[in-house]
Amino acid sequence: MSVSTSGKLAELVSRKRVIICVGSGGVGKTTTSAIIALQEAKRGKKVIVLTIDPAKRLANALGLASFTGKAQKVELEMEGELWAMMLDMKACFDEVVVRYAPPESRDEILSNRIYEYFSTSLAGTQEYAASERLYQLYESGEYDLIVLDTPPTTHALDFLEAPNRLGDAVNSRALQWLYKPTVFAGKKGLGVFSMGTTYVVRILSKLTGAQLLEEFSTFLSAFSTLFDGLQERGKAVRDLLSRDESTFIVVSTPDPLTLKEAAFFYEKLGKDQNTVGAFVINRVHDFGIDDEDLRRPIVNISTKLDTQFENPRSVAQKLVDIASKYSTLKKQDFRAMKDLKNNVSGDVPIVYMPYFDRDIHNAEGLERARLELFDKEKRI
């Protein structure tokens, strides 16, 4: 089977090892990630698509019965291999602990109550675990390409900031002061801390309760044994993401507000020196009727329907009404995409997908979408 690589998007994904799909919620990121992975697997590569989304939608789109934190092979006929994996945060964090913590503090961390919540259910940690898993997959060298689907909305950028945030937090004096209070005792010139550690502790514990501070401090002193490892890892992930073999693809719909957010991702990623390789705009209305035809008398249409319908005039009117609605949508969609194009540097392709009349939730639908995206690439 021949798989086209002549389109700009096909060319882009063919030469990357790490592809990260970002964008607002509900724009089809997961499906787009799966399509990109499918494309390269069809070209003979061993590809894995990693999703963070707790809704497990990738399983639906790939026709998998269920999803686990372990890589699963998609049983479809293709040149290469397609693997799918869901992020299991708890397992992912436990692995980090086991890898970096000295044996004596391992159990203390794993059984700490704060750790339990920290590793599974709090915002930001999901993103950290994703970047950790991404790096593990990359490092394993098992896959020719890793496609990562990020969590939705404004938090998508947390994914990028998570390694920084954890690294910085870990590095911060405040944390060290909390788990190693003696380090700062008696030192001068540390701003608030010169007022005396106990004073600050008193104020903070008024806010959080002394017990929370204490629990947190216990957690930190155990967790601090991991800090060097985490920091190193955070830096490695940042490096990987800024390298030439990685790219970001911003996924959106043509809704003007959503496209505005897409432009925001583009700017933000540009600033952080991670390159956006392409935009993929899903669900674009690309049909309707010309304005000229819209102005024709209804009778011109209804006469053509005479033999078919009991009330051809009413049917003709309804047909024109509906078609004109879709023409309006088409105009809106293309205007919004052109606005985006004006805000983006010329060599970043903006590829769009027509709106399908049914949802993609099986292998057939996915293949149809793959052909649309790559073989029949449509650009603005």
Partner 1 sequence: MKSDLYKRRLVLFTGKGGVGKTTVASAFALSCAKRGMKTLLMQVNAKDRIGAIFNQDPIGEEMVELGPNLYCVNSTPASAMREYALMTLKIKIIYRAVFENKIVQSFLNAIPGISELVLLGKAYYHAAVEKRGKKRRWDIVVLDAPATGHGIFLLKIPSVVTSIIESGHMFEEAERMKAMLEDPEFTSVNIVTLLEDLPINESKMLSETLQEELNIAVDYIFANKVLSNPFTEEEENTLHRLEDSDTLLDSLFQSARFHGARVASQKKYADILKEKIDCFTIEIPYFFDGADRAEQIEKISKIISTQLNQTGEVE
We find the least distance from the C-beta atom of residue 28 to partner 1, in angstroms, to be 9
Question: For residues 69-128, which are near partner 1 according to CB under 8 A?
Answer: 113-114, 117-118, 121-126
Pairing of strands 350-354, 378-379: antiparallel
| Closer CB to partner 1, 12 or 316, in the complex | 316
Question: For residues 327-356, which are near partner 1 according to CB under 8 A?
Answer: 328-329, 332, 355
Window contacting partner 1 (CB under 8 A); options: 7-15, 39-47, 100-108, 147-155: 147-155
Among 70, 98, 140, 153, binds partner 1 (CB under 8 A): 153
Size of the site for partner 1 (CB under 8 A): 87
Contact present, 2 and 366 (Cβ < 8 Å): no
We find the least distance from the C-beta atom of residue 374 to partner 1, in angstroms, to be 23
Around Cβ 48, how many Cβ atoms within 10 Å? 23
Question: For residues 13-32, which are near partner 1 according to CB under 8 A?
Answer: 24-27
| Closer CB to partner 1, 200 or 363, in the complex | 200
**Rounded CA separation 176/169 (Å):** 10
Window contacting partner 1 (CB under 8 A); options: 38-46, 129-137, 233-241, 249-257: 249-257
Q: Is residue 309 helix, strand or coil? A: coil
We find the least distance from the C-beta atom of residue 90 to partner 1, in angstroms, to be 14
The token pair that represents 194 in the structure block: 């010169």
We find the least distance from the C-beta atom of residue 243 to partner 1, in angstroms, to be 28
- 266-274 CB contacts, 8 Å cutoff, 24+ apart: 266/343, 266/344, 266/348, 268/157, 269/22, 269/160, 272/160, 272/242, 273/242, 274/160, 274/241, 274/242, 274/246, 274/248
**N-terminal to C-terminal alpha carbon distance within the chain:** 29
| Closer CB to partner 1, 18 or 84, in the complex | 84
Residue 155 near partner 1 by CB under 8 A:
yes
Among 57, 133, 233, 370, binds partner 1 (CB under 8 A): 57
Window contacting partner 1 (CB under 8 A); options: 63-71, 170-178, 232-240, 271-279: 170-178
Among 140, 172, 242, 343, binds partner 1 (CB under 8 A): 172
**Rounded CA separation 166/125 (Å):** 9
Window contacting partner 1 (CB under 8 A); options: 35-43, 72-80, 97-105, 174-182: 174-182
| Residue whose tokens read 């006469």 | 303
| Closer CB to partner 1, 126 or 274, in the complex | 126
| Closer CB to partner 1, 172 or 242, in the complex | 172
Beta strands in 169-310 (DSSP E): 246-252, 276-284
Among 8, 106, 165, 368, binds partner 1 (CB under 8 A): 165
Closest of 46, 62, 16 to residue 370, by C-alpha:
62
We find the least distance from the C-beta atom of residue 109 to partner 1, in angstroms, to be 14
Contact flags string 183-222 toward partner 1, x per CB under 8 A: -------xxxx-x----x--xxxxxxxxxx--xx------
Q: Is residue 145 helix, strand or coil? A: strand
Question: For residues 256-315, which are near partner 1 according to CB under 8 A?
Answer: 256-258, 261, 264, 287-290, 293, 296, 301, 304, 308-310, 315
**Rounded CA separation 101/95 (Å):** 10
Contact present, 245 and 17 (Cβ < 8 Å): yes
Cβ neighbours of residue 17 closer than 8 Å, sequence gap 6 or more:
138, 144, 145, 146, 245, 246
| Closer CB to partner 1, 87 or 145, in the complex | 87
| Closer CB to partner 1, 55 or 139, in the complex | 55
Closest of 55, 234, 99, 63 to residue 159, by C-alpha:
234
The token pair that represents 56 in the structure block: 């497990």
